[in-house]
Amino acid sequence: MFYIKKKKVIKKEIESYITPLSLAVWFMDDGSKLGSTVRIATNNFETHETQNLCNILKKKYDLNCSVQKAGGCYTNSILYIKKNSLKTFYNLVKPYMVGSMLYKFPSFLHSNKC
């Protein structure tokens, strides 16, 4: 489903597969923190496909995301969860996160203060 002529793609049908569980698995695999927010590597997808993912996350979970150009040898983009949606994202995926993967979130989210 995710490959056309040996090229990884994101089809519109992905929306039905994006659940809190799938987001948690995706984040545990391809996610990382960056300062006070998080990102998910989408380097192998076209920028418009990553933007489509942002639109789906906004529609389904009211998450504000941005698409930024990937650095280094990558020519495509990375999906960032904006800081104003970070707590929403954290609360959405936390029930499915393996405890040892919580380091991928800024510490203020999983401290006693949050």
Mean pLDDT of 90-102: 95
Structural domain total, the chain? 1
Per the structure, the complete domain to which residue 60 belongs is given by 11-89+98-109
What's 47's domain CATH number? 3.10.28.10
CA distances, 88 to each of 8, 70, 92 (Å) = 29, 24, 6
Q: Is residue 2 part of a domain?
A: no
Predicted TM-score of the model (pTM)? 0.86
Q: What does the pLDDT look like over 68-82, one tens digit per residue?
A: 887 665 567 899 999
7: confidence class by pLDDT, cuts 50, 70, 90: confident
pLDDT digits (tens, 9 = 90+) for 16-57: 999 999 999 999 999 999 888 999 988 878 888 889 999 999
3 within domain boundaries: no
What are phi and psi for residue 98, nearest 5 degrees?
Answer: -75, 135
